[in-house]
Chains A and B, each alone.
Chain A
Amino acid sequence: MNRNVFSAALAAAGLALMSAPAFAQEQAVSLDEKVNQIFASSTGWFVNLIFSNFPGTTFPWIVAWLVIGATVFTLYFGFIQFRAVGHSIALVKGDYSDPNDAGEVSHFQALATALSGTVGLGNIAGVAVAVSIGGPGATFWMILAGLMGMASKFTECTLGVKYRNEYPDGRVSGGPMYYLTKGFAERGLPGGRILAVMFSIFCILGALGGGNMFQANQAHQQISGIVGAYPGWITGVIFAGVVFAVIVGGLKSIAKVTEKVVPFMGILYVGTALIIIAMNADQIGWAFGQIFEGAFTGLGVAGGMVGALIQGFKRAAFSNEAGVGSAAIAHSAVRTKEPITEGFVSLLEPFIDTVVVCTMTALVIIITGQLVAGPDGTYLLNEAGTAVQTIGGTSGVGLTSAAFGSAISWFPYVLAIAVVLFAFSTMISWSYYGLKAWTYLFGEGETKELVFKVIFCIFVVIGAAANLGPVIDFSDAAIFAMAVVNIIGLYFLMPIVKRELSSYMSRLKSGEIKKFT
């Protein structure tokens, strides 16, 4: 059975790699279109299911699901995201780390790795999508969702560490599939295993969607925006080749370089955004005015206030992945005796990702006046009436690029490099998340793991060739489907986290847990 899957996957890979160039020489564009068609028609039903509205409204149930989840965790843990920030920072700095554990995975490293999986195109392209569809007001809801999401992240990452696996050979890994199984068993609840299997299936789809195709797609759009249009499969094949070299060939050097350059790129991105905002300092008040006003009136945007809210929440969730469960996989390898400490550390992640980085993108787009407003101050819609008109008719990463470019003409080139690196590091992270879900379902083994890695590389090519529409929809759908299962699990397991929290807090207060040095 497995061998069949494997040979089929290899054959498909070979076909995609070999036939594409020959085929494309004659009909490059039509190949792209063909991929699009197949893609849109085969994933449409799944997208529709996830994004269906409450009957009689235009409000997707999935957005409500995430918001309710984040609110419940925020209230249940007594606004932990605001109470614990100081302690979180002390933990990241290593104040509470045992010096004898030097050489093990530190809190900082777990956070940095999780961040390099989340800070990516969601922050650059996703925010642009939110602002162009939902108007400036989407930013307000995005920030709010980011703040609330900190509590979701806190819950899932604590559980990720608590129920991780420590293998006899010294490897440490965990994630929702393990806390769903073990946590439910510990509480004597049925159904943990079913949830874990469902989560794993959605995680594999999410890894192929948002963690892969969306990234490849946006990277291609950014590159072709600079060097001129060319078929997407070319970018796809190159990306797939590099990803293949890293995850299959074990070429650590490429991954190492990316991991070192990505944080630098993130700082450069935020720094540049701050400079552009400072250049337009007189507009800051106006921009925040637009954000607040738009949040509650919509300012004439498609869908009005609800449209702004939906876009803000959607993009925040897609960017910081709070409640999705993916970060729990990255955080679970940390060296600590107290699982709750990683929860504290992980709640910084949505803050950095959404409240800081995403807001920068949104502010730059708004401040540089990319959105076209009519004489009465409300925004004009594009011809289709689906989004706000932008100056160059751009959307997604193109809009962000135009916004930065309007202030600093050469920045789109830097942004292109940043986008490619962000896309790449996110792909590497998600290939790992997907792989962990895959091995949960099918067991560990070199051949089984290779099958997944090959499939992952094929999807890079598909992602780069597909239109943004079907790709972004499928990415969203797969990632949100993970959140459905994960948050159900979190509701049942949150008393365990609460127990850990109160025990830890009382020991912290009594001085039993104290700083080293």
Chain B
Amino acid sequence: MSGKFVVGYDGSVSARRALEFAVDRARAQGGTIVLTHVLEWSPYSFLTPQELEERHARRKEEMTRAEKAIMTTVKAELDEAGIPNEVAIRYGNTAEILGRVAKEHNAVQIVIGRDGQSALGARVFGSVAGALVQTAPVPCTIVP
């Protein structure tokens, strides 16, 4: 049975470790990697009128930039290694989006890395790993 692995990828070293972990599992099972990049965004933030006017244009730019960055690097590597993969670039809250992408793709697992945030930092700003553990619709692996 070939399953899909949703990997939260933001280009950091820890995300890289998570990806490697997922690639090993996917290779063993003949699974697919769903590379997910989340652009942190809240529909309840405050913008100036000028920013409202330019928002649509900015969003396009951000999407293109993110796509380019991921397509040319990670996706190219996966393709070369012969790992079947898909890319999802979304706006929103990271943990929420990872959960949603996992549901949409019928994934078997979500894999993310963690930076080893301090306890205080996590308490104040919240941590993706913490939120995901509470809300993930499928099993979740956090790669240290």
Q: Which residue of A lies closest to B100 (CB)?
A: A99
At the interface, is chain A mostly helix, strand, loop or mixed? helix
Which of B45-91 touch A at CB < 8 Å? 45-50, 52-60, 62-63, 90-91
Q: How far is the CB of B135 from chain A (nearest CB, A)?
A: 14
Q: Is B125 an interface residue (CB 8 A)?
A: no
* B92 at interface, CB cutoff 8 A: yes
Q: Report the bound CA distance from A295 to B27 in whole Å.
A: 78
A428 nearest in chain B by CB position: B48
Q: Report the stretch among B12-20, B36-44, B136-144 that lies at the interface.
A: B36-44
Query: Closest approach, in angstroms, between the C-beta of B35 and any C-beta of chain A?
Result: 18
* A235 close to B (CB within 8 Å): no
Q: List B contacts of A252 (CB < 8 A).
A: 48
Quick check: B53 and A333 within 8 Å, CB to CB? yes
By the criterion CB–CB under 8 Å, are B56 and A102 in contact? Answer: no
Contact between A113 and B60 (Cβ–Cβ < 8 Å)? no
**Distance, CA A169 to CA B57, complexed state (A):** 6
Do A259 and B41 have beta carbons less than 8 Å apart?
Answer: no
Q: How far is the CA of A169 from the CA of B45 in the complex (A)?
A: 24
Number of interface residues of B (CB under 8 A): 25
State in angstroms the CA–CA spacing of A97 and B56 once bound together: 15
With A104-B59, A108-B43, A109-B43: A172-B53 Cβ-Cβ less than 8 Å: yes
Q: Which of A94, A97, A169, A263 contacts B46 (CB 8 A)?
A: A263
**Interface assignment of A173: CB less than 8 Å from any CB of chain B:** yes
Cα-based distance from A171 to B57 in the complex (angstroms):
6
Query: Is the C-beta of A292 less than 8 angstroms from some C-beta in chain B?
Result: no
Residues of A contacting B52 in the complex (Cβ-Cβ under 8 angstroms): 105, 109-110, 113, 172, 330, 333-334
Q: DSSP class of B's interface residues: helix, strand, loop or mixed?
A: helix
Shortest beta-carbon distance, A285 to chain B, in Å?
A: 37
| B contact residues around A335 at 8 Å (CB) | 56
Q: A433 contacts B43, CB within 8 Å? A: no
State the CA gap A112–B44 with chains docked (Å): 9
Inter-chain contact B54/A329, CB cutoff 8 Å: no
Chain B residue with Cβ nearest A432: B49
Q: Which residues of A have CB within 8 Å of B63?
A: 103
Docked Cα-Cα span, A5 to B120, in Å, equals 57
Is B46 a contact partner of A333 (Cβ separation < 8 A)? no
Given A103-B62, A103-B91, A333-B52, check contact A94 B47 (CB 8 Å): no
Cβ–Cβ contact A260 & B46, under 8 A? yes
A117 at the interface (CB under 8 A from B): yes
In the docked arrangement, what's the CA distance between A60 and B59, Å?
A: 48
Kindly report which residue of chain A lies nearest to residue B44, judged by CB atoms: A108
Min distance, Cβ B41 to any Cβ of chain A, angstroms: 5
CB–CB B49/A171 < 8 A: no
* A and B contact pairs by CB, cutoff 8 A, 28 listed: A97-B43, A99-B92, A99-B100, A102-B41, A102-B43, A102-B91, A103-B39, A103-B63, A103-B91, A105-B52, A109-B45, A109-B47, A109-B52, A112-B46, A113-B46, A113-B52, A169-B57, A170-B56, A170-B57, A170-B58, A172-B53, A173-B53, A260-B46, A333-B55, A333-B56, A432-B48, A432-B50, A433-B49
Further 17 A-B residue pairs, CB within 8 A, beyond A109-B52, A171-B56, A259-B47: A97-B43, A103-B91, A104-B55, A104-B59, A105-B55, A105-B56, A106-B44, A170-B56, A171-B57, A172-B52, A172-B56, A259-B46, A259-B48, A333-B49, A333-B55, A428-B48, A429-B48
